[in-house]
Amino acid sequence: MRILGIDPGLERIGYGVIDKIGSRMIPVDYGLIETPRIEMPQRIRMTHDRMLELIHQHKPDCLATERLLFTVNKTNAMDVAKSLGVILLAGAECGLAWCEYSPPEVKQSVTGVGNADKKQVQFMVTRLLGLAETPKPDDVADGLAIAITHAM
């Protein structure tokens, strides 16, 4: 099974593609989608187009995203929700199954601790996938962690 994990954002979207074969998880690709500070409709369109490119390039079986949890900055929450909406739209257009996981679920799955910090998540992602280097920035490690969570 091929999984596309997404850490949603507006300026930066971390992604990770892994293959789950038996009990093994094999990294396929990971990186960052960045959008410039331009008008929202064009920015959202860029996110949608880039997601379609990733899906067509890697042909995942499913899309896994992190559930949005915001308590303080409502404006930022709305902007990230807009981005997540077009991410889900791209997945739906390509017929992908979708699951979402809360940040504590992802941390628990990857590190064994639901309140792990970013460095612990990065360390375990690197270890679980046998990567030579730690994925950076943390958005990228989070995209991989979300894919790992779905694989488990």
Query: What kind and span of H or E run contains 28?
Result: strand 24-34
Q: Which of these is catalytic: 7, 29, 117, 133?
A: 7
CA atoms of 61 and 2, how far apart (whole Å): 5
Q: Which two tokens stand for residue 30?
A: 């990971």
Q: Residue 128: phi, psi to the nearest 5?
A: -60, -35
What whole-number distance in Å separates Cα of residue 27 and Cα of residue 128?
A: 10
**53 catalytic, yes or no?**
no
Catalytic residue status for 66: yes
Active-site annotation holder among 19, 29, 66, 133: 66
Instruction: Give burial (CB, 10 Å; 0-12/13-18/19+) of 39.
Output: exposed
- Output the CA torsion sign for 97, 103, 109, 110: positive
From 39, 53, 138, 139, the catalytic residue: 139
Q: Is 117 a catalytic residue?
A: no
Positions annotated as catalytic residues are: 7, 66, 139
